Amino acid sequence: MNYGMIRYIVGKMLLIEGFLLLFPAFVSFLYGEMEGISFLLTAMLLLLVSFLSSRKPENTAIYAKEGFLIVALAWILWSVFGALPFLLSGCIPRFEDAFFEVVSGFTTTGSTILRDIEGLPKCMNFWRCLTHWVGGMGVLVFVMAVIPLSNKNSMFLMRAEIPGPTCDKLVPKARTTARILYTMYLGLSVAEVIFLLAGDMNLYQAVIHTFSTAGTGGFSDRNASVAAFNSAYIDGVITVFMLLFGINFNLYFLLLMKNVKGFFKNEELRNYLGIVAAAIALITINIMNLYGGVLHAFRYAAFQVVSVITTTGFVTANFDLWPEFSKTILLLLMVVGACAGSTGGGMKVSRIMILGRTITKEMRQILHPKSVNVVKLDGKRLTDEETHGVYVYTICYFVILSVSVLLISVDNFDFITNFTAVLTTLNNVGPGLAKVGPVENFSAFSCFSKIILSLDMLIGRLEILPIMMLLAPVTWRKKF
């Protein structure tokens, strides 16, 4: 285990977080808010920690195990230090609450413990939403885009952080891949800001809601979320951009390379859009009588379906009051999630496809024992390692889901509240049902349950293995 390199890279990452804290500090200066001092103090502390770990070790090689540990440690430390401004300013006085809020931000979950979001200073809401934007594409990917690391080291970090069953470079150099990803990410973000400014939002609101949309996070500066604007135009713009940010960014690179045919031939994209279309149609029909017509029902159904499957978590309607059929569809969409390689959470459409095709393969093998059956995705045969990885992920996913529901049940809430609280945090969605529904929050949970749910958010965003390896004793044995 190359502890020196782990220390060095994590130190560099904390330096980047210190730089990011200057943005909300600047916002506080613009609006004359004293809370900005807490960002400056935290930035100074991060500068000191980074300086103490700045000595580069002679052995700079890292491998898969170091990659997983760096990713896990970086996300946890970013969350710990990112919570300090809330504590120092007194905006969120308890550590477990501040930690929960920032973990929810960086993991792009959007669940909150805040009862009065509009009572927060603008700089604090800006920081909440900025964590979505940085965490959406990935903390490590962001760092790789701005600091030099060897190509081999960078790839191990990307594989440990980028969501999905596989991780492919767009170009030979991983750092160049990171820069291309963030350039496309920034381009889409700027486009959304422009469209939102054409609606009823001011620049501040357009920027922070773009941060939340791009990271598929869901934080807002309004207690009622996007519903507060009561604008069909804003609903439409955010719906479209949530859908776009739920698509694999590698496909946008195909469009840049003018490979339009390759973009639309992608099987995961077609299934993703198909699931969205089917869910919108079914829910629209189911809730039509609640909204007095097809158009209004379609507006709210489309927004909530896209918000949930992309795991953004914005709300324009209290879907906890919808019929059971519609709520069941939304719960299933929480599990499915967006495309691999997007900023969305969930299991990912590609994993669901692989699981379905594996079941079909096994059934064919039983019916025709001598036949040769393989699992393919986009016309390519998947290796045993890739399919095995999907099986392991799925088993771990349901084990963690079950154990987490059991652990937080000590708070003695009803099953729907406990189950959907874990489901929404593990899949990085945001709102659940019942006491954690679209118009509720997570403040009622105990300190113990908030820590469990915070871990679920980290596990879900990093897709299980990095956090599990960090906590596993075998990882720290010298012979490993």
CB 304 within 8 A of CB 276: no
Per-residue pLDDT of the chain (480 residues; tens, 9 = 90+): 888 888 988 998 899 999 999 999 999 999 999 999 999 999 999 999 999 988 888 877 777 788 888 889 999 999 999 999 999 999 999 999 999 999 999 999 999 999 999 999 999 999 999 999 999 887 767 666 665 555 555 555 666 556 656 555 555 566 677 788 888 999 999 999 999 999 989 999 999 999 999 999 999 999 999 999 999 999 999 999 999 999 999 899 889 888 999 899 999 999 999 999 999 999 999 999 999 899 999 999 999 999 999 999 999 999 999 999 999 999 999 999 999 989 899 999 999 999 999 999 989 989 888 888 888 988 889 888 889 889 999 999 999 999 999 999 999 999 999 999 999 999 999 999 999 999 999 999 999 999 999 999 999 998 888 888 888 877 767 654
Dig out the tokens for 157 from the structure.
């970090």
> What does pTM read for this prediction?
0.93
- What span, in angstroms and rounded, lies between the C-alpha atoms of 437 and 406? 20
CB 274 within 8 A of CB 353: no
- What span, in angstroms and rounded, lies between the C-alpha atoms of 10 and 25? 23
Dig out the tokens for 330 from the structure.
């939304």
CB under 8 Å to 14, separation ≥6 — which residues?
46, 49, 50, 53, 77, 78, 81
